[in-house]
Amino acid sequence: MTASNIIPLSLARPGSLVRIIHVQGGRGAFKRLFELGIIPGETVRVVFNDAGPVVVERGGTRFAIGRGLAAKILVEVVG
């Protein structure tokens, strides 16, 4: 893994499998994502990321994450 492989979730391509590396938000953002299971080390699939919220799938459940919050989630593309 190199720093160049790490991108904000808001830039991940639809269909890609990404691993959460770091959340840059404050306590509220981290708590909200923690409740959804979107935590560092978890892997999610990007379902939709063209306009509006970013839709990701984890464990068969889809979540919509606002584009601003998605920009604070750093991910590594793994597939």
Q: Examine residue 17 and state whether it is found in any structural domain, yes or no.
A: yes
Q: Which pLDDT score, from 0 to 100, does residue 77 have? A: 95
Q: Helix or strand or coil: residue 2? A: coil
Q: Examine residue 59 and state whether it is found in any structural domain, yes or no.
A: yes
Q: Is the pLDDT of residue 2 over 70?
A: no
Q: Which pLDDT score, from 0 to 100, does residue 32 have? A: 87
Q: What are phi and psi of 76, to 5 degrees?
A: -120, 130
The rounded mean pLDDT for the chain is: 91
Q: Is the pLDDT of residue 1 over 60?
A: no
Task: Give the domain CATH number at 69.
Answer: 2.30.30.90
Between the CA atoms of 45, 59, 78 and 8, what dihedral angle is there, to the nearest 10 degrees? 50
Q: Examine residue 1 and state whether it is found in any structural domain, yes or no.
A: no
Confidence of residue 78 (pLDDT cuts 50, 70, 90): very high
Q: Examine residue 10 and state whether it is found in any structural domain, yes or no.
A: yes
Distances from the Cα of 67 to the Cα of 1, 2, 53, angstroms:
25, 24, 5
Which domain covers residue 28, as residue numbers? Answer: 6-77
Domain count, the chain: 1
